[in-house]
Structure 1
Amino acid sequence: MAAVDMQNRGPRTYGNWRRPTSPGILGLGSVGTVLLLGGLIMVVAVVMIAGLLEAVILGGILGLVMLAVLTKDSHGKNILSRGGARVAWWSSRSRGSNIYRSGPLGRALWGTFQLPGLAAPTRLTEHTDSYGRKFALLYTPATSSFSVVIGTEPDGAALVDQEQIDVWVADWGHWLANLGDEPGIEAASVTIEAAPDSGTRLRREIDMNMDDEAPAFAKAMLGEVRVTYPSGSSTVKAFASITFNASHRSGSKKRQAEEMARELAARLPGLTAGLQATGAGAAHPLSAQELCETIRIAYDPAAAVLIDEAHAAGETPELTWPDVGPSAAQASWGGYRHDSAYSCTWAMTSAPRGNVQSGVLARLLAPHRDIARKRVTLLYRPIDAAKAAAMVEADLRAAEFRVTSTNKPAARDSLAVRAAAATASEEASGAGLVQFGMLVTATVTDLEKEADARAAIDNLSATARLRIRPVYGSQDSAFAAALPLGLVLPKHIKVPAELREKL
């Protein structure tokens, strides 16, 4: 019998994240190549019909357009996309749509505190699953999708063997891969929120368990703990949102909330049970009251203390969905002011290059002293098996085309071919394919700490080997997308993401 030496095995690493590419010439995608060739044909036609001068002018315009497409910054954004974002922001600010006022003196209907922006038309209902647990069902009319939010209590990696952590990561990969086989699932997101602890729960626990006959020294010690321990402490919460399409399949009739709730009532126990095996701890669907409290605190962090004190007193602050939004909000080019706080949201533009270990996001997810509330949201879009096979094969052909289109291929292109081949091999072996992104929101209650929070996020992203940039011109939409609401951002964009990637 042979013995396996587990001590000599190195730490497990993860990597090979690829952005889908499109074949083209001169660094362009398929759509950009078609535009270039069509423009050249038009130039030749103008030479034959109008004359040389007109053809030179048209050629100059075509060259400027191609230059705007090919000139990219460190985040992969070209001049055309940056200019489009700036024009859209100017248009939004001129219409006043970046300013929101609700309540009796605001613009919301019936004097309510309706959510602003992308989340404004959402509707919330509450139902019961097959385990008898209440769950909130959120309907987004703009995308015809339903979302459920699952609350989790992660165990953390402290004092946990590396073998157990590897098992959790593997189970998390299996859970994401299985989402592609679940009928009707469009997207999923995981939100980890680090926020200051009000200390209400600790004080309530001490008051309820204090023995009147305890020694004076013990009472004094617990009294000091009751006062000093909540100061500077923090709490970490995690939510998983799953978004379902209202239609069974393309072209079929859209289901209503009651019909969708009956189906999800039987599917939620399986989804929560699979999530518990990933190290997420006890997973349970959020009720309508819990979801309303979560969103209310996100827009107005000052309400967190009042809600905690109400729960400590045995009372439930009844909130309805039309009353969880901010009373005032204003989006600027690089930030978002909402009620009692100011937030800035960053979007990931590049995943870590090379291989990383399982704890690469540990410092980014942990609480930070310069940030009052920090929210990190991982966005996933599972791809079904049929579409995944075609996508990885097309990506492999595109990578091979870039290598063979020149006599001296770049080292990055050669490496891209090997990475695309590895992805295609893994997909053929049964691995799932998932598109992912990340949003990071930093919230401060004092505007003087804004610069410190921005510097902290820049430093934390470097430790996670991520490349991120502020979502300029769309801070209000990015803030809503980072919340556990199940919003699918690509469906809210006027220009399809597939078209922009092939440009």
Structure 2
Amino acid sequence: MAENRVRTYGNWRKPSSPGIGKLGLGGSIFVMVGLGIVTLTMMVSTIAAIVMAVVLMIAIAPLIMRDPHGRNGLQWLGSRIAWFRGMTLGQHIYRSGPVGRLPVSTSRLPGLLAGMTVLNSVDGHGQPFALVSHPTANHHTVVLNCSADGASLVDQHQMDVWVAYWGRWLANLAYEPRLVSAAVTIETAPDSGERLRREVLGNVDMSAPPLALEVLKQVMFDYPVGSAEITSRIALTYSSAGESRAHRTPEELAAEIGIRLPALAGSLAMTGAGPADPLTVDDLAHLVRVAYDPGVGVLSEQARGEGSPPLRWEEAGPMATQEAWDHYRHDGAHSITWAMTEAPRGEVFSTVLSRLVAPHPDIVRKRVTLLYRPHTPAESAKLVERDRKDAMFRAQQSRVAQARDSVDLRSADQSAREEATGAGLVRFGLLVTATVMKAEDMRLAAAAIDNLAATSRIRLRRAYGAQSSSFAAALPLGLVLGDHMRVPQSVRNSV
């Protein structure tokens, strides 16, 4: 009999910057310039040169000190200053509605989502979809709702096929015009049972035998108890800024995306995502409304089932939110968001994230969002070669070769070979949001996420001082945090 080989995955690398020791490119340039100034000062005054050398050492100390998540002292100090400034200006508090701080008595989305607008459009097959626009970043997002097949009673070979097609789908995103990011959000929440009730009541035959009707009634009320609802959504974000100075309007971009949307949704079928349907404005409004106030989840399902008027986008936001340093309070719920700082080392199996995305009894709603930013083929070729040169530079810095540097160099070589043969290059990240209804339950939720992260072999860091923006980025609305930072991402990577 042929021996079945278990397939493993890995070879992801964290972007790095070449530099001296723990310093990045920016820190190394700062040190070299500082040493040059100290040398020139020594020709004039030795005491002044010593003073400048001490000042230089104090200045580079925050760049050398790093915590277990790779953040240096300068980043830590910058986040503290930004949080204190926001607290002073009252930016951590949001109030809406008739007695709110907004000039209009509506419940708009808070923070980075405040400027978002939605547009109704139709794809190439005549199916309606919503286009979420963010004018600040010139980004426009369409959201697909997937009916994932699940891994129950599925053999390993089929899972490997799904993963292979998923990798191909991500690689093809590099050839998608104007696409800047993709996000996969898997959300777990208690099942209200409203959809099952609507399905049963809409198809039941009252002339059926009494025993059958009684069984259906019992199933309708007892089955949802203790069960969970798992939803999978994919947000595709496009940029309206082209190579020329002319920008596409949302209507023009919606027409362009609508032509390609059926093919993108259809290609997800082989990845295990199942049928993918675009969300409408009403779907997105209810999604955001329940995310900020989970207590209205059952009422929202009942209202939609009874044919109530669609929820307006201007009324989808919360009535009140308040951001703390380590958590986020919104309406009647409390949430904590974590960001991945280190992917699993070595090789992993296809089920590495199974427990992390599965429902948990200590968490009311759990949202796991994978963020992807594909590189174009031209960018991929440059990046893999640059990473390869950086790995060689770090390996040659020490006289005695370190095991970590050797493994990093082999990984960079393999990435360069795979890219040369046609593989794609994608940046990825992960956000985890845990929502509970009581403040005293946040400690249990935090302990649960720590345990789940350990089983998935990933390192998570609580988004201190950025809970509201991280909560918004974890929603399937296509918010790209890197394009909303005051310090450009290229500068942050070089520090």
**Are 1:202 and 1:226, in contact at CA under 8 Å, matched by a contact in 2?**
yes
Matched ranges for 1:22-41 at <5 A: 22-41=17-36
Secondary structure of the corresponding residue to residue 366 of structure 2: strand
Aligned mate of 1:246, from 228, 240, 264:
240
1:271 corresponds to which letter in structure 2? L
> In 1, distance between residues paired with 2:271 and 2:358?
19
Structure 2, unpaired ranges of 5+: none
Give, in whole Å, the separation in 2 of the partners of 1:468 and 1:430.
32
1:179 to 2:192 alignment: no
Report what 2:408 is aligned to.
Answer: 416
Deviating more after overlay: 257-266 vs 364-373: 257-266
Partners of 1:307 and 1:317 within 8 A in 2: no
Instruction: Give the distance between the partners of 1:129 and 1:288, measured in 2 at CA.
Output: 14
Structure 1 residue identity aligned to 2:351:
G
| Contact kept? 1:145, 1:244, Cα under 8 Å | yes
Alignment of 1:98-497 (within 5 A): 98-210=92-204, 212=206, 218-249=212-243, 251-313=244-306, 315-497=307-489
Q: Give per-residue Cα distances to partners, 1:200-219, cap 9 Å, x unaligned.
A: 12233344455556555555
CA–CA separation in structure 2 for the residues paired with 1:141 and 1:165:
40
Cα distance in structure 2, aligned partners of 1:264 and 1:203: 36
More deviation in 347-356 or 445-454? 445-454
Corresponding residue of 1:501: 493
Q: In the alignment, what sits opposite 1:77?
A: 71
Give the partner amino acid of 2:286: E
- How far off its partner does 1:321 sit? 1.4
**Could you report, residue by residue, the CA deviation over 1:62-116 in whole angstroms, capped at 9, with x for unpaired residues?**
1122221111111111111111111110110111000000111112231111101
What's the CA shift string for 1:212-234, capped at 9, x where partnerless? 56555555444443333222211
Q: Structure 2: how far apart are the matches of 1:334 and 1:114?
A: 24
CA drift at 1:307: 1.3
Secondary structure at the aligned position of 1:302 is classed as helix
Q: Which amino acid aligns with 1:10?
A: R
Q: Which amino acid in the other structure matches residue 281 of structure 2? A: A
Give the conservation status (yes or no) of the 8 Å contact 1:193–1:236. yes
Whole-Å Cα distance in 2 between the matches of residues 176 and 107 of structure 1? 42
- Say if 1:183 and 1:248, in contact at 8 Å, map to a contact too: no
Seq. identity, %: 47
Cα distance, 1:317–1:307 mapped onto 2, change above 3 Å: farther
TM-score (ref. length: structure 1): 0.96
In structure 2, what is the Cα distance between the partners aligned to 1:62 and 1:100? 42
| Counterpart residue identity of residue 73, structure 1 | D
The residue identity in structure 2 corresponding to 1:256 is: T
Amino acid at match of 1:383: H
Counterparts of 1:426 and 1:231, CA distance in 2: 49
Q: Which consecutive segments of 4 or more residues in structure 1 shift more than 6 A?
A: none
- Residues 184 and 244 in structure 1, CA contact (< 8 A), matched pair in contact too: yes
Provide the rounded CA distance (Å) in 2 between the counterparts of 1:93 and 1:126: 37
- How far off is 1:136 after superposition? 0.5
TM-score, reference length from structure 2:
0.97
Q: 1:368 to 1:110 in 2, by over 3 A?
A: same
Bigger drift between 370-379 and 158-167 goes to 158-167
